[in-house]
Structure 1
Amino acid sequence: MPTIRVIGTGDFSAYLIAALRKGGFKGRFLLSPYNRAKAEKLATVHGCAVALDDTSMLAEADWILLAVRPEQLADLTARLALRPGQLLISAVAGITVAELRAAVRADEIRVVRIMPSSYIETIDEGLVPVFPAFHDVEAVLAAAGKIATFDTEDQFEYAMFGACLSGWMYRFIEALENWFIDHGLTPAQARLIVAGNLAGAAGYALARQDVPLEVVSDGIATEGTYTKAGLEHLLERHAALPWLEALDILERRLLSLKA
């Protein structure tokens, strides 16, 4: 079990550590002391230790997990002296492996990027994107969810947009819930009906990847059914278009960062 030094003790670290502990990971976490209140809370809840300072953290850690915002990276890496054999795991959005190596001034350091979504703290088999594939990291992170590896860094960048989908979906679910509540269901009933059916459809789509989803939909939305009546309206209104446009916005932002 590696000792993992965690730099950044915000929401990302909280849900990743929680998911790893829930999945049975018993390795040691050393938390950065920069925000001591958050670090001590994480330490208490999830059995971690708060480091005294940078020197002790680096001396004891096998892996370094960077969980900070991109704008915080330059200040942190200026004082981050990694030793040969240490592994850098980055959850810093939009910063490439090459840029991370340059930032820590260590071309020989192995760097792995990850970007799991917040729901992994709560559900089993939540998605954990990893690039590049690295068995030791995958073996540990498998305690937190289902590992998805990618052949290229560009693939990983686009896969990160999937985490945005979950964030958008909560607002979509809420809007549908409110319709059912307005028509007499309790909030608990509305949550069950909406989220339950969406989760069921997603689960079926994952389980039956051999079947085109259009075929599944058409098999349910047969002539004269409620499903058919509603689906025809959604298709006529191009209901998926705003979601695709939102993804295009993210792509343009990604490409502008690379320009």
Structure 2
Amino acid sequence: MSRIAIVGVGTMGEAVLAGLVNSGATVLAGVRRTERGAELAERYAVTAGAPAEVAAGADVVVLGVKPYDIVPVVASLDLQPGQLVVSLAAGVTTAAIEAAVPAGVKVVRVMPNTPSLIGQGMSVVAGGSSASDADVEQVAELMRAVGSAVVVPEKHVDAAAAISGSGPAYVFYVAEALVEAGVHLGLPRAAASELVTQTLVGSALLMRETGEHPAVLREQVTSPGGTTAAALRVLESGAVRAAFLDATRANAQRSRELSEG
């Protein structure tokens, strides 16, 4: 199995590290602070060291640093032809990274999301011009250690990330609104939170397990002239569906602006 170095082990980097360790991969942690390296070594039984040191001995180098650090960090690693670089940063194109590495270094871009922290993530994977289909599939398989992964052309990354990358924020926004609605209806906050949480979990699992279109599942809950129909009528009159369309368009546009910047 490939030796994988993770450079920049913050929240998302650590999630990927934990998933890969659990899958049996050989993982190296690239950190700037020795105390952070000691913490990761104790928690996951991985080898930790300076970023350039661990990257030098790796087949795959995963970059978990902030977007504004990607290019300077990758340029400092002294990468060699044949190594595979995986970026977890939003708004940084594969072309920008390829320009900072030697010829022959392969680059793949990944947009994970925060449920990766509990092994239930959704990752969008896109290869750069130097990466083969096999390289891209290898990265997708790595990301399946923390959930699911889908491969798309890079031109679709902004759109896909607007759905899955930022998607948890939309879900939490809806959850927050439903909890507040329950409180306004007289429910204790703890009870409202439990009702909302399990309803979201159960509904997501039902959609995944049945494979039904969400419109079909919605119709199964909605009796003509009933209470659900009354509630949905209010949501439609509030243009909630259109608001989600506008929100995801704004998300994708902002991602394109960051890439161009």
Q: Is the 8 A contact 1:10 1:38 kept in 2?
A: no
Whether 1:230 and 2:223 are equivalent positions in the alignment is no
Uncovered stretches (5+) of structure 1, i.e. residues with no partner: none
Match of 1:185 among 185, 188, 195: 188
Report how far residue 138 of structure 1 moved: 2.8
* Residues 142-177 of structure 1: per-residue CA shift (max 9 Å, x gap): 222112111x10112221122112023223212322
Q: Which residue of 2 aligns with 1:251?
A: 252
Q: Which runs of 5+ in 2 are unaligned?
A: 128-132
Q: CA RMSD in A?
A: 2.3
Which of 47, 50, 54 aligns to 1:49? It is 47
- For 1:100, the equivalent position in structure 2 comes to 97
Deviation at 1:25, TM superposition (A): 1.8
C-alpha contact (below 8 Å) 2:91/2:256 kept by paired residues: no
TM-score, normalization by structure 1: 0.85
Check if 1:87 corresponds to 2:90. Answer: no
Task: Give, in whole Å, the separation in 1 of the partners of 2:188 and 2:74.
Answer: 52
Q: Secondary structure of the equivalent of 2:150?
A: strand
Q: Number of matched residues?
A: 251
How far the C-alpha of 1:234 sits from its partner, in A, is 0.7
Change in 2 beyond 3 A, CA 1:52/1:78: closer
2:62 is paired with a residue of what secondary structure? strand
1:128 aligns with 2:123: yes
Identity of aligned residues (%): 24
The reply on whether 1:197 has 2:199 as its aligned counterpart is: yes
Matches within 5 A, 1:1-259: 1-21=1-21, 24-52=22-50, 54=52, 56-104=53-101, 106-124=102-120, 126-132=121-127, 133=133, 134-150=136-152, 152-161=153-162, 162-182=164-184, 183-185=186-188, 187=190, 189-209=191-211, 211-256=212-257, 257-258=259-260
| Counterpart residue type for residue 158 of structure 2 | E
CA pair 181-251 structure 1, distance change in 2 beyond 3 A: same
Shift in Å, 1:217 = 2.2
Query: Shift in Å at residue 251 of structure 1?
Result: 2.4
> Would the aligned equivalents of 2:48 and 2:54 in 1 still touch at CA under 8 Å?
no
- Residue 41 of structure 2: SS of its match in structure 1? helix
- 1:253 maps to amino acid: R
Distance 1:234 1:107 in 2: 53
Shift of the 184–255 alpha-carbon distance from structure 1 to 2, 3 Å rule, reads closer
Alpha-carbon contact 1:9-1:39 (below 8 Å) kept: no
- Equivalent position amino acid for 1:127 in 2: M
Give the conservation status (yes or no) of the 8 Å contact 2:6–2:17: no
Alpha-carbon spacing, 1:135–1:239, altered in 2? closer, same or farther (3 Å)? closer
Alpha-carbon distance in structure 2 between the residues aligned to 1:138 and 1:254: 22
In structure 2, C-alpha distance between the alignment counterparts of 1:142 and 1:228, rounded to whole Å: 38
Bigger shift: 35-44 or 153-162?
Answer: 35-44
Cα deviation, 1:216-238, whole Å, max 9, x if unaligned, reads 32342122321111111111111
